[in-house]
Structure 1
């Protein structure tokens, strides 16, 4: 799901992904083939940090603010689920795949780290930067990107 949503942000997830729970990845790959072949592992390397968020959610805002303060490179890829036509499908799939049923849901290297409280705890412990660094995301705190 992660690669499909990041590779094809304008496309809704196919509804049959919920019907074929045992093989969600293959359903998405088959649907994506109509748009051309893609290297799914390359998508994770190109976008190592993905945040599933809702624009109005205070917890999503908190997680995005924390990540923004770190001035990450590459910057997080933000999926604003509430702005998509497949919001409920994304929520259902995230819950099935990660057992995390709320927003935000932060993925690093294709693995869910959880939500706002989880990211804040990792940051407080100093582990978040190590996790990000391991997938090639660099932090430049105090660096003004617009300068």
Structure 2
């Protein structure tokens, strides 16, 4: 339906807003922005329990306190793209790891999110930038 978007798009917006704001890149700050963006425009599309949690949470601290970050879906990877625009591979890896741990705090899902962000980094930079990327992504640069 025109004008609608997914929960992943809404959380990507929250991630991008924190990046653009220059606010501290912490679990607490990211969680706070996710709650803020949800309350600004609540809509269906989230997993029912997570939507209820977001609706009930007053702030990021409450979200983190009540959330069990062992989700086995791809949400952390789906919202990682804006982080791939950061200036260095180290920044991309660090920032993506932090944002992923909000909901997907397992090594496999953190690495999946990092792979997405690195792919964005690879295609958004010159070929010489690709030399700092893992071999599996250099071909994308």
TM-score normalised by L of structure 1: 0.31
Q: Which has the higher contact order (CA 8 A, sep 6+)?
A: 1
Higher helix share: 2
Higher strand share: 1
